[in-house]
Structure 1
Amino acid sequence: MIRTLLALNGALIRGALAFVLTTQEDIEVVAEVERAEDIGTALRTQRPDVAVADVNLFGAGVLSAGGASSGPPPVLVLVDPRRPKVLGDALRARCQRLGFLGSDVAPERVVEAVRRLAHGGSVVDADLVVAALNRDNPLTAREVEVLEIAAEGWPVVEIASKLSLSSGTVRNHLCRIAGKTGARTRIEAVRIARERGWI
């Protein structure tokens, strides 16, 4: 029996996946958590053979807490395919037994991936890799800095102060960012840049 931990945001998605997994004769869902800080406890107490984690929760407990005497279990990381940047971040994590699937795949692919990881196999979604490789960022390094600070809600004057620029220069950067992202507002530009993994 493959003991499985689900660390996913959203009770509906987590519950649906738990239902699909528990219909398999060889898989048992031993714990479900939705907060990163609960993962470590679940790993220590339930000792799963495989963890399935949303990329937003991945890392906090999955990598640092050992589920079994041999260390953390293999982790199937579910990644939003619209945000390929996070795949690169996850690939740099210090865990040797990782699998990656898009969060929009059919449940049957998750079932298959859990089995493969439990038996020492590897899982990498080719579509995610292609998306990660093709995420050319049209924004300059300075435009990324401006947009990241703008994403925190700072006005032009504050952005200029933080980057030692004039307000006019910041406005010019924001105008170019809007052109490159196709956004009408700063908020929309931030959303688009995040979805495409540019910031």
Structure 2
Amino acid sequence: MIRIVIAEDQGMLRGALASLLELEDDLTIVAQARHGEEALALIQLHQPDIALLDIEMPQMSGLDVAETIKEKGWSTRVVILTTFQRPGYFERAVRASVLGYLLKDEPSDRLAEAIRRVAAGYREVSPELVFGFIREENPLTERECEILKLAAEGLSANQIADSLFLSHGTVRNYISDILGKLGVKSRIEAVRAAEEKGWISYRKDDPT
């Protein structure tokens, strides 16, 4: 029996996924989470075979959860569900050792089979998502992404400098480089452009 934790912030979709997968004789849902932090706690508690994660959730994204699972060395294998064909997301998923990366509109039988294959150690990726990754690579360095994520969370240049133990001038130079690479005129435009391509993600407060 393959044990699964589902994390999806939309209640109706989460329930539908659980109901469909429970129809399979060899799959069982051990817990359901409304956001990333709850998912991480449930994964630690149940140690499931599979974590089925929405890519964009409040508090922690599916990719944040996947990266934490890898960092902690847990055995749970990750299947990401997404509606976004963004190259940066797929790039992060590969780095986080995510084995399943699928579009949400995949048929239920395809999802069930993908879960079985991931549980057995195989990789399952929707072809459209691979093509998106090939089209465009992230031009930002790791430090530039880090600074842009802090800017997205509302920190000023001075606050970013304090947070990263950098000088204010160094942060301003980084931001100038970021704007140039992305071809935009403001930090707001830079955040929007990088997020749309999946090159950064940051914690969003749960609206509920």
Query: Could you state the TM-score of these two structures normalised by the residue count of structure 1?
Result: 0.65
State the secondary structure of the residue aligned to 2:24.
coil
Distance in structure 2 (CA, Å) of the matches to 1:64 and 1:159: 27
Supply the AA of the counterpart residue of 2:12: L
User: Gapped runs of 5+ residues in structure 2?
Assistant: 55-61, 201-208
Sort the Cα spacing of 1:21 and 1:31 in 2 relative to 1 into closer, same or farther, 3 A. Answer: same
More helix by share: 2
- Number of the residue aligned with 1:41: 45
Sort the Cα spacing of 1:3 and 1:120 in 2 relative to 1 into closer, same or farther, 3 A. Answer: same
Supply the AA of the counterpart residue of 1:81: F
Flag the structure with more relative contact order, 1 or 2, with Cα contacts below 8 A and sequence separation at least 6: 2
Distance in structure 1 (CA, Å) of the matches to 2:135 and 2:15: 33
CA deviations 1:49-83 (Å, max 9, x no partner) are 433233233243477375xxxxx243323345344
Residue 58 (1) aligns with residue 61 (2)? no
Return 106-115 or 14-23, whichever deviates more. 106-115
Residue 133 (1) aligns with residue 138 (2)? no
Contact kept in structure 1, 2:86 and 2:196, CA below 8 Å: yes
Q: How many aligned positions are there? A: 184
- Number of the residue aligned with 2:32: 32
Q: Map 1:1-199; keep pairs closer than 5 Å.
A: 1-34=1-34, 35=38, 36-43=40-47, 48-54=48-54, 55-56=62-63, 57-61=65-69, 64=72, 66=74, 72-79=75-82, 81-93=84-96, 98-137=99-138, 147-148=148-149, 150-155=151-156, 162-164=167-169, 176=180, 180=183, 186-199=187-200
Query: Could you state the TM-score of these two structures normalised by the residue count of structure 2?
Result: 0.63
CA radius of gyration, larger in: 1
1:175 positional shift? 6.8
